[in-house]
Structures are given as C-alpha cells and as structure tokens.
Structure 1
Amino acid sequence: MNTQNLILKGGLLFLAAVLSVSAQTRSDYTTSYTRSTYGAVAGDKELTLGGSGISNKDFNNSSGGVNASLGYYFTDTLEGTIRQSVSYANPEGSGGADWSGSTFVALDQHLFARGALRPFLGINFGGFYGDNVSDTLAAGLEAGAKFYVQPKTFLFALVDYAWVFHNSHQASENFDNGAFQWTVGIGVNF
C-alpha cells in the first residue's frame, strides 16, 4: 500500500470518527443561549490569537506576524491582559530576516456587560525589541470591539496608538511621535 493511499484512508477514518462523536454529542444535550448570555463574566479568563502576512510570488520579499494574549476579567466589564507579538520581515536584498517583538500589559474597560457586540477602550504599557528595533518602552491608548459568534467565542479588532520613550521625561514629549498598530483575530473566554 503506498503512502498516499494510506494517508487518504486514515483521513477518511478520522473524519468518520469525528462526525460520529459529533452526532452522538449533539443528541445528548441541547443548550439554549440568548444574546444576553454572550461574553465573559467576572473571574473568566480570555485567550486571543491573531496573525498576518504578505509575500511576493517568489517568497523573497515577505513579512508577517503572530500575536496572542491572555486576559482576566476582574468584573463583568474590566479586563487585565498581557499581549505578546512576534513579527518577521525578509525584505528583498537585505541579506536576511529581521525579527521583532513586543510585550504589553493592558487594562480594558468594556462598554457593555452583555451582548454579542462588546466594544472596549483601554490603556497599555510595555516594550518593543528585536533585530532592527531599538529596545524601548512604550505606552498606548487602545480601542476595539469583540463580536461574539458563540457565547464564549468571538472575533475581535483592536487599534492601538503607542508612543515610545526611554525615560519618564520622554513619555510626555513623545506622544506626537506615536504610531498605530492594529490586530484582528479570534478569541475564547473560559
């Protein structure tokens, strides 16, 4: 038996098993959710994942990034979060890849306690670092929205205006030299 045939049969067997378990599980219970039960409550945790990328047809001029966050709801609407992002760039003719990252803590206030749409405003503090990035502190203001597609699963968009500084004196002076960052992705509450 060749490898391709074995992989095909294994995949079909796996699909049949998943569909069988799914059908059994679905018939065992039914839960009714209303839009008012969508979203996190005090004590819930939250995990988000997002990413992006772009490349030319030869894959020799590309960039991309991935980000993740872990949050905790202090109340039904106040969330503390730690966010990590890693970015990669391989500009044509540069002779190699550049890696950079950022780590931030944030405090977000959601405007509604329940419902499928949960806009929020927040503040953050952290730092940037990497190959061609000056390691520096940064602070920012942020706004975003979560759209719950299931009671504990959502799509999100986040826009952040961050400015960098090396000491507290520069923090107020560098506000006008900030930059926007954006993130889109998926998240779950648990």
Structure 2
Amino acid sequence: MKMLKKAPLAILLGATLLPAYAMAHAHMGGHSAIGPSEGDREFSLSGTGSSSKDFDNSSFGISGDYGWYLSDRTLAGIRQSISYADVEGEDIGDDFWNGSTRLFADYHFGHNAARPFVGASLGGIYGDGVKDTGIAGLEAGLKYYLLPTTFIQARAEYQFLFDSGDSAEDNFDDGAWAYTFGMGLNF
C-alpha cells in the first residue's frame, strides 16, 4: 500500500525531470558533454542551518558564488555569505547577522558527472557576532552534474580569522569548519 502512495510522486518527479533533461541534451547538440569549458561562468547558491529541538536556538546561512573558468578545471571568483543566528539566553542578545565577502579559487578533478575539488579563499568577515576582520580558508568539495550544465554541490571550508600576517599564522590552529550544500549552473 505504501508503494502505491509513493508511485504518483515518482511519476510526477520523472515527468518533470525528463523534459528538462531532453531540452538540455538537445541544447548541447545531442552530445552529452558534462561540465564547463574554459571561459564559462558559474553561479551557485548554497545554504546551511541548524536548530535546537525546541527551535529556541536557530541559525541559517546562504552563500552565493560567481566565478569564471580560467581552464576547464580551474575556477576563480567571488563568494558572498550571509548568516543569521537567533540565540536565547540572558547573557546573549536576541539575534546576530554576519556576512563575509571572499575571493576564491578552486581546482576540479576529472571530467565525469562527479567532480571533486579543492581550493582556497581570502576576504573579510563583518557583522554583529564577529569583529570585522580578515578571513582565509582552505576548502574541499564535490560537484555532481545532474544535467550537462547543472550540478548539486557539497563543500567544507576550514576558516580562520586574522588582523595581520602574524595573527594569520597564530590563528590557523584556532579555525572553524563551515559546511554548505547547494546547486549551481555553468553558462
């Protein structure tokens, strides 16, 4: 009985994705080239979030990337992230907004639908919950192409804050991990 209830959803999903795949395949001239070429641009949106079981402490964030492929494997661009946290407590204020603007460069491996990548970013962080300062990070992730130019991605970044070159070296050991999941397209 449960299988019958799920069947309409599977049919609806298939009926929605099949025409999109056929249009993308036709747009690519009938061949199945996957991923970007040198000179292509890329736009992606990613998000992250968490809440306590009672939803009294919650946070969420969104990150938008815009980049240019310097080769079919090397992407350089700019990333804008915004995060919000609503934290309950007497010692802590109601909510915090933070943002960061970073330049990034990523190197992608392979030419299949699954493309792991590694990279680095450098920029600034600002907002209510942080001291306005520099931020740098190393990152790794995976893009998976669902269509020739459309992908989903997961990324992990190790970020650390700094005020000067000396503090960057000192603060590397005190960094934090940031995780995002999203989707994007090449054009």
TM-score by length of 2: 0.79
Which residue of 98, 101, 113 corresponds with 2:99? 101
C-alpha distance in 2 between matches for 1:60 and 1:104: 31
Match of 1:130 in 2: 127
1:53 Cα offset (Å): 3.0
Answer whether contact 1:33 1:151 (CA < 8 A) is retained: no
1:172 aligns with 2:163: no
1:33 Cα offset (Å): 3.9
Give me the identity figure in percent: 44
Runs of 4+ in 1 over 2 A off after TM superposition: 29-34, 52-62, 93-96
1:62 Cα offset (Å): 2.2
After TM superposition, the structure 1 = structure 2 runs for residues 22-41 of structure 1, keeping only pairs within 5 Å, are 32-34=30-32, 37-41=33-37
1:186 aligns with 2:183: yes
Any idea what SS the aligned residue of 1:174 has?
A: helix
Which residue of 129, 139, 142 corresponds with 2:136? 139
C-alpha distance in 1 between matches for 2:80 and 2:57: 24
Any idea what SS the aligned residue of 1:39 has?
A: coil
Match of 1:158 in 2: 155
Match of 1:89 in 2: 85
Which residue of 107, 110, 115 corresponds with 2:108? 110
1:32 Cα offset (Å): 3.1
Any idea what SS the aligned residue of 1:187 has?
A: strand
Any idea what SS the aligned residue of 1:134 has?
A: coil
1:149 Cα offset (Å): 0.3
Q: Determine which structure has more spread, i.e. the larger CA radius of gyration.
A: 1
Query: Aligned in 2, Cα 1:157/1:57: closer, same or farther, shift over 3 Å?
Result: closer
1:55 Cα offset (Å): 4.1
C-alpha distance in 1 between matches for 2:59 and 2:73: 35
Answer whether contact 1:98 1:131 (CA < 8 A) is retained: yes
Which sections of structure 1, spanning at least 5 residues, go unmatched? 1-18
Q: Give deviations 1:146-186, integer Å, cap 9, x for gaps.
A: 00000000000111111111011112222111111111100
Any idea what SS the aligned residue of 1:133 has?
A: coil
Provide the aligned C-alpha RMSD in A: 2.3
TM-score by length of 1: 0.78
User: In structure 1, what residue type is equivalent to 2:109?
Assistant: L
Any idea what SS the aligned residue of 2:88 has?
A: coil
Match of 1:65 in 2: 61
Which sections of structure 2, spanning at least 5 residues, go unmatched? 1-15
Answer whether contact 2:48 2:179 (CA < 8 A) is retained: no
C-alpha distance in 2 between matches for 1:184 and 1:143: 12
Query: Aligned in 2, Cα 1:149/1:97: closer, same or farther, shift over 3 Å?
Result: same
1:56 Cα offset (Å): 5.6
User: In structure 2, what residue type is equivalent to 1:38?
Assistant: I
